[in-house]
Structure 1
């Protein structure tokens, strides 16, 4: 595994987060990382991953940080409602996004600006923890594809497995011991060059999104060592809520995230 030293200035918030979180991850996980050399050493890019646990951002930050980069996330806006947490997240360079809302355009603009400024922007194209009953990637949203087509930046796919054993989807308590194996495979950048030259139609964006999810699915197959379903799970077709805990009813006025 190739490990690079961080060249960027971390800032107080990111430095504090590393000091607290990294020792915990080293204690509670056993890492099997593959293809880390595909994470660009310099320049703006998007890292796209499948979403299986609320711990996923920590896993992504770990592998990105240990390969010399600092991640910026499109994080759900509900996390920013707490003044202290919101201050910390903004200080760490994270980007709030209001899912399923027209206000998500602001997050798109911020992500495009971050990529153009040479930063690593982490995106979970599914938009939420997968609803697939077996944990496979589900159909993706268009955000990552739109950012990539607008900027022409590399799109680096990652397939991961194991975080859900440490913290199951929507569980309240983690299962810390024994340490859980975390397998992450980083693929080569996805070629979208032919689509970047085309008009930004819904069909073009859908093609780009499909390529992104296909690449992620293939990497998840590698880390799981088994074939994925032929078709990605579609929560709309299955009648499953796209956000929030799918196993409980949302309370009126409550944030479903």
Structure 2
């Protein structure tokens, strides 16, 4: 399924973005992984998908469970191995996470999870406070957690803005970091304190990667929407 999709998605994305991948070799070439990218525009999934494809892996995302019930689309999501996620109780979410991680390990697949759960609300487009889904998924089966950042897509489609058709092929840089060290949290995947600490470590890693691309220091404190009267809505996470 990915090959025919790539014949459409890759050339289409190349019209708008000239993607440069930095340290792409850090994405595991085999076996399971959880990839956690920065997220500042709705154009991001195309950038991330094409970058992952060019790095030799199939780009699979977390997708809302309700989408799997849509005719044709649901079949396509299942055929490409996308991972369903639903709003549920904490017990159901934990069970769903374990099942998803076991499938990733069994089939040697990777999955892309936006750790913020939605577009960053930070006014300067730095990563904001993260949710624990990506870390929980990685800890469930000891799966490598890989941070990623990119910069430039916001010039193609500004956050909550309109698609810019000109100039074409705007430069977008993508950088992949070393796996986040979650060793001290092993076996603690159900403990809130461990999940929060691991998520803070992940978000710091993403922010440092983005700092490299932007050439300016990342803020010491992550933006917290609840402290600014903002709602965190958008993509779902386990």
TM-score (norm 2): 0.88
Q: 1:144 aligns with which of 117, 129, 134?
A: 134
Give the structure, 1 or 2, with the largest relative contact order (CA under 8 Å, sep 6 or more). Answer: 2
SS of residue matched to 1:188:
coil
* Residues 1-257 of structure 1 mapped to structure 2, 5 A cutoff: 12=1, 14-77=2-65, 79-80=67-68, 82-99=70-87, 101-102=88-89, 104-105=93-94, 107-117=96-106, 118-171=108-161, 173-178=162-167, 179-198=169-188, 200-244=190-234
Distance 2:42 2:188 in 1: 36
1:46-91 Cα distance to aligned partner (Å, 9 max, x none): 1111111222222111111111111221123454464232322222
Q: Is the 8 A contact 1:217 1:228 kept in 2?
A: yes
Match of 1:7 in 2: none
CA shift, 1:32, in A, is 2.2
* Cα pair 1:51 1:129 within 8 Å, conserved: yes
CA contact (8 A) 1:148 1:154 kept: yes
Task: State the SS of the aligned residue for 1:83.
Answer: coil
CA RMSD of aligned residues (A): 2.1
TM-aligned CA deviation for residue 167 of structure 1: 1.7
When residues 109 and 54 of structure 1 are mapped into structure 2, their CA distance, relative to the original with a 3 A threshold, is farther
* Ranges in structure 1 where 5+ consecutive residues have no aligned partner: 1-11, 246-257
Q: Show the counterpart of 1:254.
A: none
Partner SS, residue 17 of structure 1: helix
Q: Secondary structure at the match of 1:72?
A: coil
SS in 1 for 2:111: strand
